[in-house]
Amino acid sequence: MPFQFHPLAIPDVILVEPQRFGDSRGFFMETYQFETFAANGITPRFVQDNHSRSARGVLRGLHYQKEPVAQGKLLKVVIGEIFDVAVDIRRGSPTFGQWVSEILSAENGRLLYVPPGFAHGFCVLSETADLVYKTSDYYHPASETGIIWNDPEIGVVWPLTNPLLSARDQALPPLAEADFNFQF
């Protein structure tokens, strides 16, 4: 099988490990196959691909789009390394307000599926990092919002203390004041 699927501590967030075939010339690997992913719990029809580049110490997040244009994301790093975080913001969920994280890198080739109803963020651990990701809905600026990265109620243990943040990310509210309408 070209993929291994590992539900994380919050089982709707799924780590995907593709099989890599390599030799001295380089490598080849499949990174997405609809039927295999759907059979393993990743069912959205992805409609948009995005590419983000960030420098060491940059932290982006915690972002989400509100319903009805919430996005699921299938994330992969193609250059560098990131610490990637998903926070459950589905009211009524037994894991509401909890977070999971994974290291994604060009070297390990892992993908992370973050479904709708989760806030997503990452920080860059390498000199630069290029993150490519598929989304299950189109980008809709009026629906985009987020939660402050260092909200003590969530308690993400980031591997850096003074991240480089956008002005928008610095002004995001804590979870208790955030605007979202996700239900479990």
Instruction: Tell me the pLDDT tens digit for each residue of 81-122.
Output: 999 999 999 999 999 999 999 999 999 999 999 999 999 999
Read off the pLDDT of residues 18-60 as tens digits, 9 standing for 90 and up. 999 999 999 999 999 999 999 999 999 999 999 999 999 999 9
- Residues 6 or more apart whose Cβ sits within 8 Å of residue 27: 20, 21
Active site residue ranges: 63, 133
- CA atoms of 97 and 139, how far apart (whole Å): 24
Q: Where are the domains of the chain?
A: 3-177
The topology (CATH level 3) of 3-177 is Jelly Rolls (2.60.120)
Other Cβ atoms within 10 Å of 45 Cβ, number: 10
